[in-house]
Structure 1
Amino acid sequence: MSEVLDHSRPRRSVQQPYGFLSYGRTPNVPDRDRPPDERLVRFHAKLTDDLMELTDLDAMVPAVYLDKRIPVGSEWEGELKERLARCQVLVPVLSRRLFTSPWCRLEWDCFQRRQELQRKRGTFTRQAVVPVLWNALRAEEIPRPYADLQYTHEDFGADYASVGLLGLATQGRHTTFNKVIYQLALKIVEVAVSARLEPCDPSDFDDLFVGLNGSAGEEHR
């Protein structure tokens, strides 16, 4: 007797990891006690916590990949390719540093290639990108391809659209900061479930990395 599939049963979340955080790294300032990108790391931790609450993700795999956590001495290029080939949603953190980072552009190009491969298979459903407004930016300051993304939403509130997540954190508006992150987590889950982006072979990105040979690990941006 053939097995009857029960479509009423929920499917486990696909995780390889769930999201990939693409951001322009702030350089380290000499003689400064606080590490760079401290607020971004805080955002990443809260987003991870919210995604764990909203899904059935396994804690042994990062809910949102943050490349700061590549171990020293690891083969970072292979690590990035693997994560970009497997993640469900690209999460670009919109800022002036992201717009000028060749590595952020590379991450975008890799993810778009993966989506194009799915278009060619005829199984593409929607863009699997959820942008985060980090800095206070005017529309004309956001270049393409990021300008083509819907980066604000009424559920996120007018304050977020005005000053971005960094502005909320800097102003001490922790309740609004946390609320927006929760709304972003909800959006990431919705996009991941509806897009169901299929993984690709990491070698599909090989030619995109040609000419971008930085130093390994923490310094690769």
Structure 2
Amino acid sequence: MTERTTGGASEPRGDGPSFFVSYARPPGSPSRDDPSPIGELVQDLNFEIGQHVRQGTRQVRPGVSDREIPIGDNWRRFISHMLAEAHVLIALVSTPYLDSDWCGKEWAVFSRRAVHARPPLSPETSAILPVVWVPVPQDRRHAVVQRLQYTNERMPGSYARDGLLALSRQAGKRDSYHQVVNQLARRVSDLLMYTTVEPGRMVDVETAPSAFHQSKPNWDGVTFLQSKAAG
């Protein structure tokens, strides 16, 4: 693999956020500065994770999305840091998400990081959690997404049928929304307690291949960035 480096290559140091939310913004959607279900989901997950993580677990930093990027910061570098440091990638799957070249790049960059799981988790445990944000027809789901389980018997049937976004917006389905968030938080908590996710090298996401648009991602020519921690 041919690697290009900007300002030297370095691995991030220290524990990263518990999760980073990867999602697509459909055309005409509000900016990230407007109130949105994404911000609500991040807050709800952080609260629930705090209830489930066992005492004695290393300090857990709150999960984030790109809504937390400070004004004036380099948003691409922020996302590069999150993909290299966050413990879990929560992917809000929808048709725009799977069509998005950028979201496919985020998935590909995060998936390069090694995950070491301890019992009771399986050695094949993934640190990517796909969420049914808006249901996608089966024939439109990419293989890398299909191979990961997205629901369990404790989640309501309306989750797979309607998607978490619809549950969050309908007053009569808020209980179902919270059921799903609770199960997602439990899984993130298990990953925090029983896995080690190796830090990644910071990648200029724009130069990375897309996991959704290439059957075998080509990493030749990818640009690695210098971590703030090294600088």
TM-score range relative to shorter protein: 0.7 to 0.9
In structure 2, the partner of 1:145 is 144
Unaligned runs of 5+ in 1: 1-13, 119-123, 213-221
- Normalised to the residue count of structure 1, the TM-score between the two structures is 0.73
Paired residue for 2:159?
160
Task: Tell me if structure 1 keeps the 8 A contact 2:159–2:180.
Answer: yes
1:37, CA displacement in angstroms? 7.0
* Aligned residue type for 1:192: L
- Percentage of pairs with the same residue: 26
Mapped to 2, the partners of 1:26 and 1:39 lie a distance apart of 14
Q: CA distance change for structure 1 residues 204 and 136 in 2, over 3 Å: closer, same or farther?
A: closer
Q: Where is the helix percentage greater, Structure 1 or Structure 2?
A: 1
Corresponding position of 2:44: 46
Question: Bigger relative contact order, structure 1 or 2, given CA contacts below 8 A and separation 6+?
Answer: 2
1:206–1:28 distance in 2 versus 1, CA, 3 Å: closer
Cα deviations by residue, 1:194-213 (Å, 9 ceiling, x for unpaired): 3311112325978528799x
More strand by share: 2
Residue 19 of structure 1: how far off its partner (Å): 0.7
Could you report, residue by residue, the CA deviation over 1:44-72 in whole angstroms, capped at 9, with x for unpaired residues?
2111111122236758x4x2120122122
| 1:95 matched residue in structure 2 | 94
Q: 1:170 to 1:200 in 2, by over 3 A?
A: closer
> Match for residue 178 of structure 2?
178
Counterpart amino acid of 1:195? T
Deviation at 1:138, TM superposition (A): 3.2
Give the Å deviation of 1:115: 2.9
Q: Following TM superposition, by how much is the alpha carbon of 1:149 offset from its aligned partner in structure 2, in angstroms? A: 1.4
Paired AA for residue 166 in structure 1: L
Using structure 2 for the length normalisation, give the TM-score. 0.70
- 1:184 is paired with a residue of what secondary structure? helix
* CA RMSD, Structure 1 to Structure 2 (Å): 3.3
- Give the conservation status (yes or no) of the 8 Å contact 1:127–1:195: no
**Residue matched to 1:208:** 208
Q: Aligned letter for 1:198?
A: E
Deviations 1:71-112 (A, max 9, x none): 222122221121111111111011112111122111111011
* Number of aligned residue pairs: 190
More displaced 10-residue stretch of structure 1: 73-82 or 86-95: 73-82
Counterpart-to-counterpart distance in 1, 2:29 and 2:191: 37
The match for 1:190 is: 190
Unaligned runs of 5+ in 2: 1-13, 117-122, 210-220, 224-231
